[in-house]
Structures are given as C-alpha cells and as structure tokens.
Amino acid sequence: MAVNFVERIDDGVRVRNVLASVSEKEGLGRIVPALIRVNPDVKIYSTGGTYAAIRDMLGAGAGRNLVQVSDYTGQPEMQGGLVKTLDFKIYLGLLSETYNPAHAGDLERTGAVALDMVIVNLYPFAQTVAKADATPEKARANIDIGGPCMVRASAKNYLRVASVTDPADYDGIIRELEAAKGVLSFETRFRLAQKAFAHTAAYDAAIAAYLKDRTAADVRTCYQFGNKG
C-alpha cells in the first residue's frame, strides 16, 4: 500500500470552505455569522437539518454563502438521510493536500473545492441508550456513519483542515479568526485533531460496550423476522 508523506505545509490556513453537519445545533448561531463576518465570501456546505437551520438563520442572504451538499455533489440524499456526505468530492476536499500538484489536479478535474473546516458532532448515541425507553433498534438507528468519517478525515488532514467537534470550541475559534483575519494556525488545527480523534474513539467505545452487553436473542425481540430464501 502506498502511503503519502508530507514535508512542507502552511502554518496559517485561511478558512474559505466549510462543511457543517451537526446533531447538536447549539452555537451555530454564533459560529456561522462569525465565519461570514470574517470572510464574506465563505461557502458553507451543509446537509439536512443543519442546512435548514443555517438557511433560516441567514434568511435572504443564504444564497450567497450556503450550499446544499446534494447540489455540490450531484447526488441526492438517500431516503431517510442515511447517505448524505459519503461522496468522493467531499473526501477529496477533506483529504487533499493543496500544495501537492497531483491533488490540486484532482480538485480541478472533479470541480471539487478544498474544505478548510469541518463542523460536525455525532448522533446522540450515548444519550439515546441512557433513556428509560431505549431499545436496541433506537440504539442502532443512532449509530452515526458519515459523521465519524468526516471527523476522522478532517482530523487526519490537520495539516490543512480544522476538525471542529465541540461547540465549546466555537468561541475560541471565532476569536482567533477575527484576530488573524480569517486564518487558523497549525497549533489550533492540531489541538482540534487531538480532540476529534478522542471524540470518535469514545463514540465507538460506547457503541461497542452497548453491543457487548446484549445477545442476539435480546435484540431479536425488537423485530419481526421472515424467512429469506
């Protein structure tokens, strides 16, 4: 397997393109207007309920800064929103090293943009299974797939991308962007990557622990089974 190694990167990265898809929408009203205030040309790519929340927030100005992911990728969301962001153009934008001529060529060839920031938090799995009415089916439905993929891809590419997983970080990011005229430092991107990988590790551990404590017989009671054949 070929592994791509990088030796030279930029310290500060200007935030021009942002991917936003959050379960917890608290704080969107702070960070989205701040991103636009710092860079009036910023593009925010979003999906589902997050897209609707940002569109309502921006009102008549939404058309300038907000892009629906399905319009960007050319692929409609899967019924029920099960597949929204798992698309080549999204991950090309997250993982591309823009200082790599081959990667820059891939972006140009596909019409993709380099994504500089991801604002993502995951389906509330732990909160769901802690409720008195929790069932294995409710737990299964709250296993996030696209969210962890976006978090991990953006955090892997901390060389260029800020992976924002915690609304508690929004205010600090806003202050840095305002002070640095829309640029985020390497130190901030690296700190966010540390937090992002800890976040996905804890999320996967919670799912594994939940499943470990149950048997197939326990879970079977949630469903009506037919014979396949």
The whole domain housing 158 covers 13-122+146-197
Per-residue pLDDT band for 25 (boundaries 50, 70, 90) equals confident
What pLDDT digit, counting tens, does each position of 55-68 carry?
Answer: 999 999 899 999 99
What pLDDT digit, counting tens, does each position of 192-212 carry?
Answer: 999 999 999 999 999 999 999
Domain containing residue 168: CATH number: 3.40.50.1380
The pLDDT value recorded for residue 58 is 95
Rounded to an integer, the average pLDDT of 146-164 is 95
Q: How far apart are CA 104 and CA 76, in angstroms?
A: 26
Say whether pLDDT at 163 is over 70. Answer: yes
Q: Does the residue 130 lie in any domain?
A: no
Q: Does the residue 224 lie in any domain?
A: no
Q: Does the residue 63 lie in any domain?
A: yes
Q: Which residue has the higher pLDDT, 40 or 102?
A: 40
State the total domains in the chain: 1
Say whether pLDDT at 78 is over 70. Answer: no
The pLDDT value recorded for residue 59 is 94
The pLDDT value recorded for residue 79 is 62
Q: Does the residue 129 lie in any domain?
A: no
pTM of the model: 0.89
Per-residue pLDDT band for 75 (boundaries 50, 70, 90) equals confident
Q: Does the residue 64 lie in any domain?
A: yes
Cα dist. 173→2, 15, 58, 120, 219 in Å?
35, 11, 20, 14, 43
Q: How far apart are CA 160 and CA 147, in angstroms?
A: 19
Q: Does the residue 96 lie in any domain?
A: yes
